[in-house]
Amino acid sequence: MVIDWIDFTPLESLLGGLLVGLAAALFMIFHGRIMGVSGIFGGMLHPLKGDFFWRAAFLLGLMVAPIVAHLAGSISAPKIDGSVFQLVTAGLLVGFGTALGSGCTSGHGVCGIARLSPRSLLATVLFVTSGMVTVWAARSFGFGG
């Protein structure tokens, strides 16, 4: 392991993290819900009555963020590399895995750890470890973007 000091952005990442935490905090205080994106998004795929528009409002807020940032003139869009095949494969795995495991980086990784849930702590250790092994394998065996 070598630390990549060139790309290291502790202040920006901490500030962004505080905003993510603020959003999770407000969601719980106002709405009493765990702010988990995979669950909020997944619930729209088979909507129940009266259970659609709050999800849509939240996801719309997410999508408007780059537009607000663009108007503020600060952040440029990061490049997405990887072929269509890689993105489809990864998307299927992310969708399947988060639905089966009932959560992703926000629901388990942030909210779950913050509420000291043993399930979420285990889930987070597993997906971070599995992501690390995947990145290592992708480089070692020459697949991935």
Partner 1 sequence: MRRLSEFLIGLIFGLGLMISGMTNPSKVKGFLDIAGNWDPSLAFVMGGAVIVSLAAFRLAAKRRESLFGRVIMLNDTKPIDVKLIAGSVIFGIGWGLSGFCPGPAIVSLGNGEWKAAIFVAAMAGGMVLAGYVTRSSKG
Closest distance of CB 72 from partner 1, Å:
9
Q: What tokens were used for 23?
A: 């959003």
Beta-carbon-side half-sphere exposure of residue 30 (alpha carbons within 13 Å): 8
Closest distance of CB 48 from partner 1, Å:
14
Closest distance of CB 73 from partner 1, Å:
13
143, 83 contact by CB (below 8 A):
no
User: d(Cα 91, Cα 15) in Å, to the nearest integer?
Assistant: 28
**Closest by alpha carbon to 78, among 88, 86, 69?**
69
